[in-house]
Amino acid sequence: MKILLGLVVALAATLSLPAPAIAADPAPLVQVEAPSYDGARKYGRTLVADPGAWSPAPERVGYQWLRDGVPIPGAVGRRHAIAPEDVGHRLDLLVVVGATGYADTAVQVSVGRVKHRVGVRRTVRYSVRTRGDVGGAEAVADFRRLAQETYDDPRGWRAKGVRFRQVRRGGSFTLWLSQARLVPSYSSACSAQWSCRVGRNVVINVERWRGASPAWNRAGESLRDYRHMVVNHETGHWLGYGHAGCSRRGAPAPVMMQQSKGTHGCRFNPWPTPRELGRR
């Protein structure tokens, strides 16, 4: 109740409404039709709030979308475009209505847990191994965690219905973090400069993992996005995708483009494009 009252006060301030009365007088507005929302609880969709019907009709209406009970910064409009960080979490909607001579009236609407764009169509199990000096146990633990975050992200191959599960050993493929000079040991086609995929081995070059690539860094892109990109790119080869080119200047680069070397006019992009995901 204390948290709800705090949100009501904050929304009232945003709407330039008087602070909510705690006493019974003045009376609250009378709900004629409950507030609700419209839209599917899936990544890529937009939810639209309906303030319901009240007596008398409210002069102003405020909204606050919440994730796991916590207000989402900036999510104070009628519409909420579901974000990657919403997936797997519970959303709620707080509606506050006000009118002159009446106490501000708040109603919380349960939205529910947000799902991925598509359901699971295929589950792939993979294991993580290292080769050579890659920086110790803490570095390996970070690699495991960040790689799984990439696989779980609703913008990645999960959007094609592929769910990745990390296992202790075995699995359909092995995700390697390899010392740069040892990457060619997987195949003569691999280079000590780049990451590589050979058969069931998805090999991430530790130097690229630590510092991205010159082209990526010149563009001012983040290291975390590079890590998303390189895991998505090399895993994409394991999934059966070949290299792709820039479709038009200014468009997001396909994740299967060799972005480590440049984008030829496309924008650096760590995620599969709609075309790569089978959506036009």
* CA dist., res. 69 & res. 106, Å (int): 15
| Six-digit token string for 168 | 């202790």
Q: Where are the beta strands (DSSP E) in 25-121?
A: 30-33, 36-38, 46-50, 53-55, 60-67, 70-71, 79-81, 90-98, 105-113
* pLDDT for res 25: 73
* pLDDT for res 23: 47
pTM over 0.95: no
* pLDDT for res 7: 59
* pLDDT for res 279: 78
CB of 197 closer than 8 Å to CB of 237: yes
* pLDDT for res 280: 62
Per-residue model confidence as pLDDT tens for the chain (280 residues): 344 545 554 555 555 544 544 445 789 999 999 999 999 999 999 999 999 999 999 999 999 999 999 999 999 999 999 999 999 999 999 999 999 999 999 999 999 999 999 999 999 999 999 999 999 999 999 999 999 999 999 999 999 999 999 999 999 999 999 999 999 999 999 999 999 999 999 999 999 999 999 999 999 999 999 999 999 999 999 999 999 999 999 999 999 999 999 999 999 999 999 999 997 6
Question: In the CATH scheme, what is the code of domain 122-261?
Answer: 3.40.390.10
* pLDDT for res 49: 98
What is the widest separation between alpha-carbon atoms in the chain? 81
* pLDDT for res 252: 97
* pLDDT for res 120: 97
Residue 60: closest CA among 73, 76, 36: 76
Neighbours of 168 (CB within 10 A): 7
Domain ranges of the chain: 2-113, 122-261
* pLDDT for res 39: 97
CATH classification (class only), 2-113: mainly beta
